[in-house]
Amino acid sequence: MLNATLVMVHILASDLNYMCETKTTNGYCVCNAEHHRDVKYGGRRLLNLRNFKRSIPTIDKTLKRAYPITLFHDDNQAYIHDDLKKLRSFTSRPILNAPVPLFSDRFFNGRMKREFVNITNNCLISQSCGRSFAYKQMNYLFIYGMFFETNALASFDYWLRIDADSNVIFRVDPFEHMHATSTHILYQGPYSGGGCTDTLSEEVDTYLAANAIQKSEAIRTALIYQSYYYGNLMAGNLNIFRSTRYKDFAAYLVKKQGIWKYRWDDQHILCYASNIFWPGRSARINALNKHGEYR
């Protein structure tokens, strides 16, 4: 069995206010009170557990090898130890306890510190992207945090991210497929479209020029059409993603603040990275994925 892990996330926010979705009312960015009430009384957390109870047995049924689940979470939350116990009752796979460093002052440069108040209360520059701070924190985790800010994945060669509400039926073992074909990324897509990606393509262009990276046709096409991988099910080679050149690229984007201002997502950033650094080394994942919340 290859040295690989399934990656899942169980609520990433140390403050309930950061879980709040936003909406524009009378020209102002305000917290969606109904969503906030749902979070406050455990709605999102309990929904996550119900989703895990349904999704994990399906994974076990179709992915026969006992790869462990690495569960990223906030270890400071009072509920986490009970939830870990419940999750371990759903599967015979090992579930690895993976507290992550939450986004805090130590990640900020000076300019970001000055703008922290506006970012954390979700009053974004782009009003079209009313996502909670916890959601943006998740994007940070998947493009940078889980590779460089924690040792949780240090002993593995491959990871596969599965969201709690993804019901996945595997047709082949994704890790064995990557290993046999020397593939660096398995993805859903690619698809075309923007979203909360204001200025992202321009920043990638700037990075390419500053580092004298030749813009191939594949990169050009990805940027023009805003190509992305559907991130709720994606696999990758950790030895590649822990490389210096990927770290430099991801750190550049982190410092540009777009993850928190515009909700730059892992879906576009990982797609751009694969086209820039590893063209021809990615492939579609061979799995059926029904993604959406189970209620």
**pLDDT, tens digit, 9 for 90 and up, residues 42-78:** 567 788 888 999 999 999 999 999 999 999 988 877 7
pTM score, two decimals? 0.87
According to DSSP, residue 68 is labeled P
Nearest Cα to 127, choosing from 76, 198, 74, 57?
198
- What is the length of the chain? 295
Residue for token digits 């130590």? Answer: 106
Helical (H) or strand (E) element with 27: none
Q: Which residues contact 106 (CB under 8 A, 6 or more apart)?
A: none
Burial class (CB in 10 A: 0-12, 13-18, 19+), 205: middle
**pLDDT, tens digit, 9 for 90 and up, residues 135-162:** 777 888 999 989 998 899 999 999 999 9
Share of the chain above pLDDT 70, in %: 77
pLDDT above 60 for 39: no
**Crossing angle for the helix pair 266-277 and 217-224, to the nearest 10 degrees:** 160
What is the C-alpha separation between 8 and 84, in angstroms, rounded?
12
For the chain, the structural domain boundaries read: 4-190+231-238+282-291
Nearest Cα to 122, choosing from 108, 137, 133?
133
